[in-house]
Amino acid sequence: MNDGARKLKKRRPKIAVVGSINMDLVLSCLRLPKPGETLAAEGCREVSGGKGANQAVAAVRMGSEVSLIGRVGNDVLGSQLLQQLQESGVGVDRVAKSLDCSSGLAIVMVEKSGQNSIVIVPGANGKLSPHDIREAASLIQSVDMLVMQLEVPLATVEEALLIAKNANVKILLNPAPAHEVLPESLYQVDILCSNQTEAEMLTGIVVDSWDSAQDAASVLMARGAKSVVMTLGKDGACLAETRHGENYFTHIASLSVDAVDTTAAGDAFIGALATYVSEFQELSVACRYACVAGALAATKFGAQTSLPWRAEVETKTYENSGSP
C-alpha cells in the first residue's frame, strides 16, 4: 500500500462500552407462558449475552475498535464469558472479576414468532461501581464514542457520562431495561436510543403510531437529549433531531425479514449506529444501516451468535435502497 492509500484508509472508530455481561439461557417455546402457567420448552441453549457485551461485539463486527468496561464473577461462567469476548475481538482489559458473587445470568424465553421475554440475574454486573469507571477514565477520554445501557447501577452510568462529557466524547445511551424515572443527568447525551416500550416508560406516552412516536421523542429531547432514535420493530425507526431550534423527524424504513428471535436485534442496531456515527456519517444514514443490522439479527437465534457483520449489512442496505 503506498503512502497516499494509507492516508485515505479509514481509521477504525474507537468505542468504549460500559455495560453488562451475562450468560444467556435461551429457552425455545411455542409461546410465552401466561402468569401462573407452566409450559414445556422445546429446547435450551447457553449463549453469551448481556446488553453491554452484545453491543460491544456488534460494534466490533461493524468495524470498530471496542473496549468493554464491566464485571464478571469469579466462576466458570465468568471465564467462559471473558474468553468468548476476547475471541470476538473485544478489549477486556477493563473487565474485572468480582470474588463475592456469580456472573450475570439471563433467562430468555423465545416463542415461535420471534418475540421474547427475559428475566435477568444481575450478579457481578450489579457490582460495577463508579470507582471502576474512574479507574477507566483514560480509556473513556480517548475514544470517539461512549455507549451505555442500564443493566449496571445508575450511579456508575452517571459517572461514565460525566467523564465522557468533560472530555467532549460523544455519548450514546440505550435506556434499557426500561425505567419510569431516570436522573436528569442521564438525558444529557448526544444520542438517546430507545425502543417503544422504553420510550413509553420514560414519557408516559403510549407509542402506537407515528404521531405518538414523535410526541415521545419530543419529550425526551426536551429533557436534554440532543437527538433521539426510537426503534419501532418491523416499522423501522423514528429519528428526532433539533435544527435551528425546531424538532425534525425522519422515518427510517426497516428491512423486511422473517424474524425468528429478536433477542439482540436492538443491540445489533446500536452497535451499527455507534460505528457509523463515529465514522462521521450523518445520523439518518447511520440509522439506515442500523435498521438493517437489527433486522438481520432477528433472522438468527441467540444473542451474540445472531449479530451480523458489516459486509452483510452494507450489501443488504444497498439491495434494499440502492444507496445508503
Would the pLDDT of 171 be above 70?
Answer: yes
267 has catalytic annotation: yes
To the question of pTM greater than 0.95 for the whole model, the response is: no
Query: Which residue segments constitute the domains of the chain, with CATH numbers given?
Result: 3-321 (3.40.1190.20)
For residue 149, CA distances in Å to 144, 249, 262 come to 17, 24, 18
Catalytic residue among 75, 132, 190, 267: 267
Residue 139 has pLDDT above 90, yes or no: yes
Q: What are phi and psi of 297, to 5 degrees?
A: -65, -30
**In angstroms, rounded to a whole number, what is the distance separating the alpha carbons of residues 22 and 167?**
29
Please give the order of strands across the beta sheet that includes 227-231: 91-98, 65-73, 14-18, 145-148, 170-173, 191-195, 227-231, 237-243, 246-252
* Best CA proximity match to 132, nearest among 150, 115, 155: 155
Beta bridge partners of 239: 229, 250
With 70 as the cut, is the pLDDT of residue 176 above it? Answer: yes
Average pLDDT, the chain: 92
With bands split at pLDDT 50, 70 and 90, how would you rate the model's confidence at 270? very high
pLDDT for 88 beyond 60: yes
pLDDT band at 243 (very low <50, low <70, confident <90, very high): confident
Q: Tell me the per-residue pLDDT of 273-288, one tens digit each, with 9 for 90 and over.
A: 999 999 999 999 999 9
Least Cα distance to 145 among 52, 67, 237 occurs for 67
Mean pLDDT along residues 111-127 = 89
Percent of the chain clearing pLDDT 90 (strictly above)? 73
Mean pLDDT over residues 168-178, rounded? 96
CA distances to 46, 273, 287 from 230, rounded to whole Å, are 30, 12, 10
Task: Give yes or no for residue 187 having a pLDDT over 60.
Answer: yes
Q: What is the reported pLDDT for 137?
A: 98
At 223-236, the pLDDT tens digits run 999 999 999 988 99
Residues 6+ apart with CB under 8 A from 302: 24, 26, 45, 47, 261, 263, 264
> pLDDT digits over 2-59, tens only?
343 334 346 899 999 999 999 988 898 999 888 899 989 899 988 898 999 999 999 9
What is the spatial distance between Cα 300 and Cα 240, in angstroms, rounded to a whole number? 29
Q: What is the structure's pLDDT at 2?
A: 39
Relative to beta strand 22-28, strand 43-49 is: antiparallel
Q: Assign residue 20 a region: left if phi > 0, alpha if psi is -120 to 50, beta otherwise?
A: beta
Q: Is 303 exposed, middle or buried, given 0-12, 13-18 or 19+ CB atoms closer than 10 A?
A: buried
pLDDT top residue among 262 and 251: 251
Quote the radius of gyration of the chain (alpha carbons, Å).
Answer: 19
- Of 78-92, 154-168, 241-255, 272-286, the poorest mean pLDDT is in 241-255
Provide the H-helix boundaries in 167-234: 196-203, 210-222
